[in-house]
Chain A
Amino acid sequence: MAPTDRCDYSPPWGNASIIGVAGSSGSGKTSLALAIVAAMNLPWVVILSMDSFYKVLTPEQSAAAFRSEFDFDSPDAIDFDKLVDVLRELKKGKVAEVPIYSFEKHARLDKTISIYSPHVLILEGIFALHDERVLDLLDLKIFAEADGDLCLSRRLLRDIRERGRDIEGCIKQWFDFVKPNFHRYVGPQRELADLIIPRGIENKVAIGMVSDRVEKILAHKSKLHQVELRRLGEVASDSPLLPNAIVIPQTNQVLGMNTLLIDPATSKEDYIFYFDRMVTLLVEKAIDFLHFQPKQIKTPQEYVYMGLKKSGEVSAVVILRGGSAFETGLRRSIPDCRTGRVLIQTDDKTGEPELHYRALPANLSKDGLVLLLDPQMSSGASALMAVRVLVDHGVPEERIVFVTYMAGKIGVNRLLSVFPEIKVVIGRMGDDMESRWVETRYLGC
C-alpha cells in the first residue's frame, strides 16, 4: 500500500475538549474541578492545574519568594508559553509533559508528569481565562465566584497546612499581591466566561450542569469514534489481506495445535501447554523483523565465522488483559524482554475500545522492535488504539509488530490501512466477529 493510500484514524481522545476554570485564589476552583470529575468518575477526565506552570525563578526572584515578597499572583509569574504547548499537544491527542512545581523549593523539579489521552481536560487556575492563545483552545469557560473574606480564609488554611508557609507571610502576600492582582487581572476574566458559578461546590445545580455538558461531549466523542471505526471497516472489507499481514506457515504441527486449541474438549493443561508453544513460534516469527548487522567471531578453535548480530533490542507491550497469555511464550525466546502494559477494554454495548491504563518502558522509541501482544483481534478497534498509543509515544511505525494468535481479515486490514508500515504476525485467520475465547480459555475466566 502506497503511503498516500493511508487512512486516518482519530482516537477518542483526539481533539480533547478543554474546560477552563478561573477565579480568585481561594475561590474553590480546585474543589469545583474535583467535584465535576468526581461526578463523572471516568479516567479520561483529567484536571490540569496552572500551579504547575509557574515560571522558573531567577536567584533574586527565588530569594524574594522565600521572603514572601515575590508576586505569584500576577500573570507574569505564569509560563503561558509552556502551558499553550502542553494544551496544543493534548488537543492533538499526543503525550504532553507537565512540569512539577515545588512550593517548598520555589522551583521546577527535574521530573515531569506525562498526561496522555484525556478526552476532557479541566484547566484550573486564577488566570485560566487570561491568555488569548489559551482562550482559543477552550471549549467551555467558567469563572468561579466567591466572597473576598471567604477566599482569604481558605487561602490561609491551605498555604499554612499544605504549602509550609507562616501566617504573617501569607497575610502580607494577600494584601501586597493577591488582592490588587485580583482587581487588575483576575476579576475582569468574568467578562470572558461562558458560565459564572457562585458558591463553589455548594452549588450542586451548577456542577450538575457542567457535568451534564461534559457527559454530552463524551457521548458525542464516543459516537464520532464509532463512526470512524465503521468507516475504516468499510475501507478494509473490500481488499484482500494486505501484504504486511503475515500468517505463519500452516504446517502439520501448526494445524494440529490449532485443532487442539479450538476444540472445547481439550483440557486446560493441554490448552495452556499448546498455547505457550504456539506463542513461541509467533514470537520467533515476529523477531525476524529485527534488523541485523554483520559480525565476525572466532570459535573456541580460533576459526572465523562471518555471522550476524541484532542491531537493537526487542521490547514488548502487552494489551491487557488478553495479552498476558503471551508472556510465558515470550519469555522462552526473550527472558529479559522489557514489557509495557496497556489496558484496553471494549465497551460491551457499543463495541468501542477504551484506554484505561498504560505503563510503558522509558525509551521505547529507541528499541529495535516493539512487539504488541494480543491473542485475538476481531474488529481491530483495540489494536488500532494500541498502535496509536505506541506511535504517540514516538515509536516509528515500521518498528512495530502486532502479534496475535487469531485474527479476522477486516480487523487486520483496518489496522493496516491506518498504519500501513507496521507488521501483523498471525497464527491463524479466524472469523471477523468471534468472541474473545482465546484468552478466556488460557486464563480460565
Chain B
Amino acid sequence: MSQPAPSQSVGPLYRSESQKPTATVSTKLEHDNVHILPQTPQLIALLTMIRDKETNRADFIFYSNRIIRLLVEEGLNHLPVVSQTVATPVPGEKYAGVRFEGKICGVSIMRAGESMEQGLRDCCRSVRIGKILIQRDEETSQPKLFYDKLPEDISERWCLLLDPMLATGGSALMAVEVLIKRGVPEDHILFLNLIASPEGAVNFAQRFPKVRVVTAFVDRGLNEKNYIVPGLGDFGDRFYTM
C-alpha cells in the first residue's frame, strides 16, 4: 500500500464546494496510456454500490453493467473513424459525419472477464468474442495459459480485452502476449477494466506502452495476498455464484 487514498469533493463545476460531497476518488497515474474515467459523483456512487458487501447479487450485476457500459463507450472512442458525408432526412441537406473504421472483437479473460460481454454487446451488437483461460499455477504461483479460442482473423482486428479486476496484472499481461503472438499489433489492443491497482496499471503501462488501459478507478494498492485494496472482493464470485 504505497500511498494514501486521494479524497476530494466531487461534482460538476457549477456546483459550489458545499454542494459537492467528499469521497475517495481514483489514484492518479502519470502514464498516458492509462485512461481513467471522469470521477463523477454518479460513477463514485455506482462503484460504492458494487464495493459494498451488503449489495445483493442482482444489484451487483446491474450496477457493474452500468459501469462496464461507460467503460466500453470510453474504450470505443479510441478506435479510428474516417470522415463520411451523408444525406439527411431534410431534403437537400448534407451532414459531415464519420464512419467507424476497422473490425473489432472482444476477448474476455475467463471467468470474470465474461461478465463484461453483455456491456460490450449493448454497444456493439454482433461483436465476435474470443476467450482466454489463464489460471495461477499452484506450484509456481505464476499465471499459466490453459485455453484460448480466438477469431481466425484476429490479427486484422482491434481487440477489446476484458477483465474487471487488475491486481498484479499477471494474467492480463499474459493475455496480451497471447494476442501479440497471434499477430495483433500492440497498439490495436485496448484493455477494459473496472478497478485496477496502481502496481498493476503501472506494470502494464511499462511492459506494453502501446496498449491502452481504460479503467473506472485506480485503487489504493495491494495487500499481502495481492488483493486490491479496498477492491470489491472476488468479482467472478459476486457476479456468478454468490
Which A residues form the contact surface with B (CB < 8 A)?
243, 251-253, 255-256, 258-259, 262-265, 273, 277, 280-281, 284, 287-295, 297-310, 332-333, 335, 431, 434-435, 437, 441
- In the complex formed, the residue of A with least CB distance to B69 is A280
> Which chain B residues border A288 with CB–CB below 8 Å?
12, 40-42
Task: Tell me if B180 counts as interface (CB < 8 A to partner A).
Answer: no
Task: Tell me if B206 counts as interface (CB < 8 A to partner A).
Answer: no
- In the complex formed, the residue of A with least CB distance to B53 is A300
Complex CA distance for A264 and B87, rounded to whole angstroms: 7
CB distance from B160 to the nearest CB of A (A): 13
- In the complex formed, the residue of B with least CB distance to A291 is B19
With A263-B86, A308-B21 known as contacts, the answer to whether A301 contacts B62 (CB < 8 A) is no
Interchain pairs with CB closer than 8 A, number: 142
Known: A256-B98, A299-B232. 5 other contacts (CB 8 A): A255-B97, A264-B86, A277-B122, A305-B48, A332-B66
Whether B51 pairs with A297 at a CB distance below 8 angstroms is yes
Tell which of B76-84, B161-169, B183-191 binds the partner: B76-84
Whether A304 pairs with B88 at a CB distance below 8 angstroms is no
Sample of 13 A–B contacts (CB below 8 Å): A243-B14, A252-B80, A264-B87, A281-B73, A288-B42, A294-B23, A297-B48, A298-B53, A301-B231, A307-B23, A307-B51, A310-B45, A437-B90
CB distance from A249 to the nearest CB of B (A): 9
Whether A308 pairs with B69 at a CB distance below 8 angstroms is no
> Which chain A residues border B125 with CB–CB below 8 Å?
273
Contact of A307 among B47, B66, B95, B100 (CB under 8 A): B47
Q: Considering the complex of A and B, which 8 residue pairs feature the smallest CB-CB distances, nearest first?
A: A259-B97, A307-B48, A300-B233, A303-B230, A263-B86, A437-B89, A297-B52, A292-B41
Task: Tell me if B172 counts as interface (CB < 8 A to partner A).
Answer: no
Which B residues form the contact surface with A (CB < 8 A)?
5, 7, 10-12, 14, 19, 21-24, 40-42, 44-45, 47-48, 51-54, 62, 66, 69-70, 73, 76-77, 79-81, 84, 86-90, 95, 97-100, 122-123, 125, 223, 227, 229-234, 238
Q: At the interface, is chain B mostly helix, strand, loop or mixed?
A: mixed
Whether A262 pairs with B97 at a CB distance below 8 angstroms is yes
> Which chain B residues border A273 with CB–CB below 8 Å?
125
Whether A435 pairs with B40 at a CB distance below 8 angstroms is no
> Which chain B residues border A253 with CB–CB below 8 Å?
73, 76-77
CB distance from B6 to the nearest CB of A (A): 11
> Which chain B residues border A302 with CB–CB below 8 Å?
53
With A252-B98, A284-B42, A333-B66 known as contacts, the answer to whether A299 contacts B233 (CB < 8 A) is yes
> Which chain A residues border B7 with CB–CB below 8 Å?
306
Complex CA distance for A308 and B232, rounded to whole angstroms: 15
Q: At the interface, is chain A mostly helix, strand, loop or mixed?
A: mixed
Whether A307 pairs with B73 at a CB distance below 8 angstroms is no
Whether A307 pairs with B44 at a CB distance below 8 angstroms is yes
CB distance from B107 to the nearest CB of A (A): 20
> Which chain B residues border A332 with CB–CB below 8 Å?
66, 69, 122
> Which chain B residues border A263 with CB–CB below 8 Å?
86-88, 95, 97
Contact of A252 among B23, B44, B77, B84 (CB under 8 A): B77
Whether A435 pairs with B77 at a CB distance below 8 angstroms is no
Whether A259 pairs with B21 at a CB distance below 8 angstroms is no
Complex CA distance for A173 and B147, rounded to whole angstroms: 93
> Which chain A residues border B100 with CB–CB below 8 Å?
256
Complex CA distance for A435 and B88, rounded to whole angstroms: 11
Contact of B86 among A265, A280, A431, A441 (CB under 8 A): A265
With A253-B73, A332-B122 known as contacts, the answer to whether A308 contacts B53 (CB < 8 A) is no
- In the complex formed, the residue of A with least CB distance to B22 is A294
> Which chain B residues border A335 with CB–CB below 8 Å?
62
CB distance from B241 to the nearest CB of A (A): 13
With A280-B69, A294-B23 known as contacts, the answer to whether A259 contacts B99 (CB < 8 A) is yes
> Which chain A residues border B45 with CB–CB below 8 Å?
292, 307-310
Whether A300 pairs with B238 at a CB distance below 8 angstroms is yes
CB distance from B186 to the nearest CB of A (A): 21
Whether A259 pairs with B86 at a CB distance below 8 angstroms is yes
Complex CA distance for A335 and B81, rounded to whole angstroms: 32
Complex CA distance for A48 and B51, rounded to whole angstroms: 56
Whether B123 pairs with A277 at a CB distance below 8 angstroms is yes
